[in-house]
Amino acid sequence: MKILVTGGCGFIGSHTIVDLLENGFEVVNIDNNVRSNAGALEGIEAITGVKVPHYQTDLCDLAATRKVFAEHPDIEGIVHFAAYKAVGESVEKPVLYYQNNLNSLANVLTCVEEFGVKHFIFSSSCSVYGNADELPVTEATPMKEAESPYAHTKQIGEGMIQHFAKVHPETSFVALRYFNPAGAHPSALIGEASFDKPTNLVPVITDTASGVREKMVVFGTDYNTRDGSCIRDYIYIMDLANAHTKSIQYLQSGKNKANYEVFNVGIGEGVTVLEAIRAFEKVTGISLNYELVDRRPGDVEAIYSNYKYAAEALNWTPKGSIEDIMQTAWQWQQKRPEWSFRSSAG
């Protein structure tokens, strides 16, 4: 079965392509490489032996997007990652986020309709819950106001798909609400190669440990949590990748209860920032230079998932621990290939 991955040169996209290939799927990739690196495909080929056909196409260009579908009329499924995802930037440049993230989705849905694609997996985010009142969040937890335009584009994206699904019973959809993806493929041939200076916790930790950064900060230790620092649900990237493969297989099997379903993809364990730092130090033997500072605006105090619904429905079992995340993230930091430092299509 041929799957089109959009944004397959990105962190989650590249790891998902590996998992899809290892589960017997054929993959075609679209990525405009504006914020990702085509070199990721070299890593995928080194791991799987497969040279994935790649189209450096902007999904906001409908004519160009249609051409890819026309060249591959046997595309039966789509995993749609392509989007901008920097929360802070989205606050500064909201129109850029609405234009890019929603136009691209609308164009892909247009092609789903015109080319009769059967299955569609949407990359959503736990940030659709906002500052949830109840923890752990379940799929039934009501969405509160989005904390950022980025999160808002994910809420709107889910809504676009829900309404599209209502008038396209012949196509089935799954939206996966990610918690905090982290770590790297055990080979260290692919990993998180962020387009600019990383702001997410795990790459900041490994940059600090390797000396790329002189020190790091912990944003806030006065939260109402067991050690005062924020709680998040860190999910090992290969577990997250497999959730996409399992979602395609779930839709292929016809076991889906409706043609639009949502799943939380986390591991249901809350880890504080200070606990994450200690896990890194324990696994690597490196002591980190960090300073305790004020809260970061926009951070929620705690969020972690109840992922049982996904585990049962998708027959999906996350295996990676916070230690596995830190171990593989550190290996990646030390061995990452040359291409991963180039910040463009190069």
Q: What share of the chain is helix, strand, coil (3-state, %, to 5)?
A: 40, 15, 40
Least spacing, CB of residue 305 vs ligand WQD, in Å:
12
Q: Which residues bind ligand WQD (CB under 6 A)?
A: 85, 87, 125, 127, 178, 180, 199-201, 204, 216-219, 230, 232, 273, 296, 299
What secondary structure letter does DSSP report for 260? E
Tell me, rounded to whole angstroms, the distance of Cα 71 from its chain centroid: 27
Residue nearest to ligand WQD (CB): 230
55, 84, 97, 150: which one is catalytic?
150
Please check whether residue 109 is in contact with residue 115, taking contact to mean a CB–CB distance below 8 angstroms. Answer: no
Least spacing, CB of residue 219 vs ligand WQD, in Å:
4
Least spacing, CB of residue 39 vs ligand WQD, in Å:
22
> Half-sphere exposure of residue 61, counting CA atoms within 13 Å on the CB side?
12
Note the maximum CA span of the chain. 56
Q: How far apart (Å, rounded) are the C-alpha atoms in residues 299 and 305? A: 17
Is residue 150 part of the annotated active site? The answer reads: yes
Least spacing, CB of residue 289 vs ligand WQD, in Å:
12
**Nearer to ligand WQD (CB atom), residue 30 or residue 218:** 218
**Nearer to ligand WQD (CB atom), residue 45 or residue 299:** 299
**Nearer to ligand WQD (CB atom), residue 76 or residue 239:** 239
Helix (H, G, I), strand (E, B) or coil at 27: strand
Helix (H, G, I), strand (E, B) or coil at 301: coil
Provide the Cα torsion 239, 244, 246, 251; round to 10°. 160
Least spacing, CB of residue 108 vs ligand WQD, in Å:
18
**Nearer to ligand WQD (CB atom), residue 6 or residue 259:** 6
Helix (H, G, I), strand (E, B) or coil at 268: coil
**Nearer to ligand WQD (CB atom), residue 193 or residue 218:** 218
> Which residues are annotated as catalytic?
150
